Every structure is written in structure tokens, then in C-alpha cells.
């Protein structure tokens, strides 16, 4: 059977342990807020997630989202 590589994006609900265990790569997205780039990571802390989505709720979204290279 041929090998399969799983690739997802940074919206996946996977832990760092799952990424490593199953050798999963993901396309990182970057948000830009007031000129500051913030890469979306699947290994964010709970506080970082709450801060980001608090900003999103306040602004009603983000100005720019860019696709980054696979990790």
C-alpha cells in the first residue's frame, strides 16, 4: 500500500502530540492586525486563543489572512 501524508490547515483541532504522533503537517495561516503579523498555530495556549478571538469579536474579523509554508 502506498504511503499517505496527512496535511491540514491551522483550523484543525489537533494537539501538538497528535501532530507529532501521526506525522501531520499543516498549512499555517497568518493574521495581520494593525500591521502586526500573528501566525496561527495549532500549539497555541488557551490564553492566546482567547486573546485572538476576543480581538476578532471586537473587530468583526481580521483584515488580512495569508497562507504560510508547511512546517
Q: Tell me if 66 is assigned to some domain.
A: yes
Residue 61's pLDDT is what? 62
Q: Tell me if 29 is assigned to some domain.
A: yes
Q: Tell me if 2 is assigned to some domain.
A: no
Give CA separation, 71 vs 2, 7, 32, in Å. 23, 10, 19
Burial 33-50 (b: 16+ CB within 10 A, else e): eeeeebebebebeeeeee
Find the domain containing 22 and state its range.
7-70
pLDDT tens digits along 13-42: 888 889 899 999 988 777 776 777 777 777
Q: Number of structural domains, the chain?
A: 1
Q: Tell me if 30 is assigned to some domain.
A: yes
Q: Tell me if 1 is assigned to some domain.
A: no
Q: Tell me if 46 is assigned to some domain.
A: yes
Does residue 50 register a pLDDT over 60?
yes
Residue 66: Cβ within 10 Å count: 11
| Predicted TM-score of the model (pTM) | 0.51
Amino acid at each position: 500500500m502506498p504511503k499517505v501524508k496527512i496535511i491540514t490547515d491551522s483550523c484543525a483541532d489537533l494537539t501538538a502530540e497528535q501532530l507529532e504522533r501521526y506525522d501531520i503537517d499543516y498549512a499555517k495561516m497568518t493574521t495581520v492586525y494593525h500591521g502586526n503579523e500573528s501566525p496561527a498555530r495549532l500549539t497555541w495556549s488557551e490564553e492566546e486563543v482567547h486573546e485572538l478571538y476576543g480581538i476578532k469579536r471586537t473587530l468583526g474579523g481580521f483584515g488580512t489572512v495569508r497562507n504560510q509554508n508547511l512546517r
